[in-house]
Amino acid sequence: MATSNSKTADMSDKKQAKVEMKDQKHLSYEGCILHVKDGLVPNMRVPGRVYVGQQSITQLENELRHFHKSGSTSYLPALQQIGNVAALPGIVGASIGLPDIHTGYGFAIAFDMDDPESIVSPGGVGFDINCGVRMLRTNLTIDDVRPVQQQLTDAIFNLVPVGVGGRNKDCLTSEDLRQVMLRGMDWAVEKGFAWPQDSLHCEERGQVLVLDPSQIGNERAEARGLPQLGTLGSGNHYAEVQVVTDIYDQDAAMAMGIVKSGQICIMIHCGSRGLGHQFADDAIKEMADAMKRDSIQVNDQMLSCTRINSTEGQAYLSKMAAASNFAYVNRSMIAHRIRAAFKQVFNRSAEELEMATVYDVAHNIAKVERHIVDGVEKRLLVHRKGSTRAFPPGHPDLPEDYKEIGQPVLVGGSMGTCSYVLTGTQQGMTETFGSTCHGATLTPEEVLADLKEKGITIRVGNIKGISEEAPASYKDVTEVVDICITLFTSLTLRSQSWYQQKSFPTRTRLCRQRIDSTAPINYHVFNFVQNGSALLSDFGYSGFGLRLPQNWPRHRGNMYINSLQSLGPGPARALHQLWDTV
């Protein structure tokens, strides 16, 4: 028996070695570029090109090796995903992976609009359509903010609805929602949720053209989107108060209204909420039939697609545009409330505080753009999933005040680390269809260990949401940015969460997460909650424990507290103290 097992293991090792040799045959390296050659996966139409550092190359290779060794079917290695994207009909140039590449299909790719075979893929955009980042500046400094740190944190938390269960506080109608989807930022300005100049500093001026308005009528999308407009969402979405720590390009920073280190700014990261998810889900179901009809084959069903000019393709583009407009307004309404929070704390208007929008970028979207491919200008449908547009100086799509410096690119880091502002370059247009990374963060193990040590002030509806900000799919932001500025963007400035004593960064993060009662989670399950699930929007986390709903019976509260014992004695004790006051 031992001999038989030994032979089986030996055969398995030889098979593994053969697979690894095959993989290496299709990979080559050139500085910070990892080339993925035809043959890594079937039917590749263009090569893959991944811009990464040596550490990430090793991680990507190990991921591929582990995948073959384990036979896992729960995920695909990032390099195989780059190959699968390269097999899509109508793709041109290359399948591009950016420095924050991870398992989860993040890329920048383009399809020739003049090729009847070209496709549009919801998987190439993402479910959270126009998930993006908006940055506001202020004329405040860290010295202004430090004395009112807690008050400002509380004011923002109280004014900005958060989490999956977060609901807006405005009386909006179905017609309001329709106008939001059709008009985007124009609606927000008209209703007083944005300043006129905010629109100028949004991609597409915050209004993407909906070609066929008849496609956006969707009862389920409306039911999900209407209460969520102006809310932050869950997972890695956040609102963050930052301090500028380093300015690398004075002229570019000055054009953005950033005049000195120590200046306070705000980043808002969120998207189209449930409305975008619903549109994407509906489109994917419709495309399943279209793929059969048109004999479209893909290597991975996550890349389901349809011809751009098909009925389904045009319908999806209209829905995507509507969801994009929703996302621009969503960030505007959150910015409006953050401006109100600053006014409340500092007793000065947002105008007096000069809380202007620096820029608003999308990193889950598809856009029609013109690019040079093999020396020929082509009209392309550029898909950016987990990547950000980065147009160079002089590009006609940029606002006048950024024509000389290039498009600002907002790159968020993780809790307690730094964020960056980059600008686009001509080299980026050549290399990546004018695209760059969108963000990065730490590993889950690093995040929770660092929060208390760094003196971070946080308001969160569910403590589990903290670790969600840093899944292993993300990378260290400085490593990512180093590659970007080496190859295709310019570095303008770095910002960090505002500082306390001992120079520990402090940040405001807002997120809540829905937990299914049947799911194995870190802090036990809500086995006492009826209907199989609970919304943690029923609770609030205020730095020392969870506030329980006052209408809960005492036995239910005690069961909930007991289910959290794995959090340790501190949180459990705080919960008991809170419950005793109800």
Phi first, then psi, for residue 324 (nearest 5°) are -65, -45
User: Is 237 marked as binding a ligand?
Assistant: yes
Which DSSP string corresponds to 238-269? EEEEEEEEEES-HHHHHHTT--STTEEEEEEE
Sequence letter at residue 518: T
To the query of whether residue 201 is one of the catalytic residues in this protein, the response is no
Measured between its terminal Cα atoms, the distance across the chain in Å is 65
Strands 132-141 and 263-270 come out as antiparallel
User: Is 363 marked as binding a ligand?
Assistant: yes
User: Is 413 marked as binding a ligand?
Assistant: yes
Where helices occur in 99-203 by DSSP H, the ranges are: 142-145, 149-159, 174-183, 185-190, 196-200
Q: How far apart are CA 385 and CA 397, in angstroms?
A: 20
User: Is 462 marked as binding a ligand?
Assistant: no
Helices (H) and strands (E) in the chain, counts: 18, 23
User: Is 415 marked as binding a ligand?
Assistant: yes
User: Is 102 marked as binding a ligand?
Assistant: no
Listed residue (447, 436, 424) closest to 481, CA to CA: 436
User: Is 414 marked as binding a ligand?
Assistant: yes
For 245, the token pair is: 């720590």
536 within 8 A of 165, measured Cβ to Cβ: yes
Q: 429-444 burial, b if ≥16 CB within 10 A, otherwise e?
A: bebbbbbbbbbbbbbb
User: Is 128 marked as binding a ligand?
Assistant: yes
User: Is 44 marked as binding a ligand?
Assistant: no
Candidates 438, 524, 555, 576; catalytic one = 438
440 within 8 A of 475, measured Cβ to Cβ: yes
The enclosing H or E element of 562 equals helix 554-562
The enclosing H or E element of 341 equals helix 311-346
Question: Coil, strand or helix: which one is 233?
Answer: coil
User: Is 238 marked as binding a ligand?
Assistant: yes
488 within 8 A of 390, measured Cβ to Cβ: yes
Q: How far apart are CA 496 and CA 165, in angstroms?
A: 29
Residue 243 β-bridge partners = 264, 496
Distances (CA, A) of 50 to 24, 45, 56, 81, 90: 15, 16, 10, 11, 20
Tokens 């209004």, located at residue:
207
Q: How many CA atoms lie within 13 A of 582 on its CB side?
A: 19
Distances (CA, A) of 316 to 57, 132, 201, 561: 35, 19, 26, 45
Q: How far apart are CA 387 and CA 390, in angstroms?
A: 9
Rounded (5°) CA angle 530-536-539:
105
Q: How many CA atoms lie within 13 A of 528 on its CB side?
A: 14
Listed residue (10, 232, 59) closest to 132, CA to CA: 232
533 within 8 A of 517, measured Cβ to Cβ: yes
User: Is 269 marked as binding a ligand?
Assistant: yes
Q: Which residues are catalytic?
A: 438
> Which residue ranges are tagged as binding site for GMP?
236-240, 363-364, 412-415, 419
> Which residue ranges are tagged as binding site?
128, 236-240, 269, 363-364, 412-415, 419
> Which residue ranges are tagged as binding site for Mn(2+)?
128, 237, 269, 363
